[in-house]
Chains A and B, each alone.
Chain A
């Protein structure tokens, strides 16, 4: 059956269950209230944009009313300039991004299986302490709520000190595992409200120098997912970058964590002319594959989390990159995103790029 855009929960399709922005004045915490049902929802993904108020803080999260630090723990890898380090605790609330006076924004995402029956594990990334084009720290973190037998009914987000500043935003999607919906046959629809939908897909028929997604409205779309699978066409090794709104000024920065065989490293770059989500040029016929998550609304810098595998030839994956980025433009609505090769016609035929947006 064909429908126009559906504004309902659809089993098996993740949808936004909570979307809150701090407006007017700072708040001491953000609570979903008892709107969740972890046993039914099955999976949650949380996106958190944290804005500094008056105190250096780390944004924490806890479930239901359990704000006992001893019931939570985490371990991860941090990258801060060129330093890679372990971070862990066996008694600390869930750790999201940090902010401070001189580095007033941060961005986090995590994903979790929510059903009781065993402890709840979460995996996520934190992009911490962003100021302009300086991204201070990147974290890849796995966390645990050591509770096996309580259904998750709510989440609370609270800074370790002070308040969540105006502009702080929390978005949660859920998995929709209910079994009491209206049964239907095949559904054909132009879109589903509050779900990720594909805005555009481009597969190159011949080599190209760039690919551009247009018709965007970042202020209302809020979150973008760019997915690229790229093969290098040029005889000279090529590297891809992301350009926002055709901005090639010195307005991009990043903190990278990478692995290249047995070498683990980190780098930070500020004031770059494009968003580079991996640091190595691929030779002709080598592949790159990446996912890029961008928080789009203006008013603040635009943070990005990217995961990439790079310089792939057969079974040899040369590089694994994880990066946190910043686009230091707070004024302009995002209307275009471009993947640009460093070489003329550097992107091979068959390379495919897709853009998804959260249809809030």
Chain B
């Protein structure tokens, strides 16, 4: 069935991914949240464009859980030509870093701990043709609870104006 462009005001009930949030910062916000149902949705895609000058700029907490060490990470990076890797734990997941672009997926399967995979590319200054660092991450959130919110926040201060976060998910019928 063909139509012109459609702009649903409510959800689209179909077996595919739709935009749950496409948010651009005005520069004055200290966090942005999205209500979800992880057991039902099962996976989210995150695309983020960060214009902040600081490292580890945007973080994510599931259910706003800031428990120390509940988020685990294995990372692999190339920083100015030096390739290295390691593991750590934290109170949140790293979504973006300095002047960066991120593509990521989150698995929120019912009854399982949760998983996050991402690819971050970042610059030390803009505008520039130099990419300073690329980072691959594989992460876990050590809780089997249903995820009911995704809370994004800057590592320090407020978001930088123009920073964009987009979340895609599948809305079951």
Contacts and interface: CB of A to CB of B under 8 A. Distances in A.
Contacts of A144: 121, 123, 128-131
A90 interface: yes
Contacts of A259: 74-76, 85, 136
Contacts of A196: 16-17
A257 B12 CA distance: 38
Interface in B106-130: 107, 109-113, 115, 117, 119-123, 126-130
Given A178-B5, A181-B5, A287-B112, A140 B128 contact: no
Contacts of B87: 261-262, 316-317
A358 B148 CA distance: 29
A134 interface: no
B156 interface: no
A144 B129 CA distance: 6
A119 B132 CA distance: 14
Interface residues of B, number: 81
Contacts of B51: 118
B72 to A, nearest CB: 3
B145 interface: no
A118 B162 contact: yes
Interface residues of A, number: 102
B19 A352 contact: no
Given A119-B127, A350-B112, A191 B15 contact: yes
B120 A123 contact: yes
B84 A264 contact: yes
20 contacts: A5-B1, A8-B5, A12-B8, A43-B47, A71-B129, A84-B83, A113-B101, A121-B101, A144-B121, A144-B130, A175-B19, A181-B6, A182-B4, A188-B173, A191-B14, A192-B16, A201-B42, A231-B112, A257-B76, A312-B113
Interface of A: 3-14, 42-43, 70-77, 84-86, 88, 90-91, 111-113, 115, 117-119, 121-123, 140-144, 146-148, 175-192, 195-198, 201, 203, 227, 229, 231, 257-264, 287, 289, 291, 307-310, 312, 314-320, 322, 350-352, 354, 356
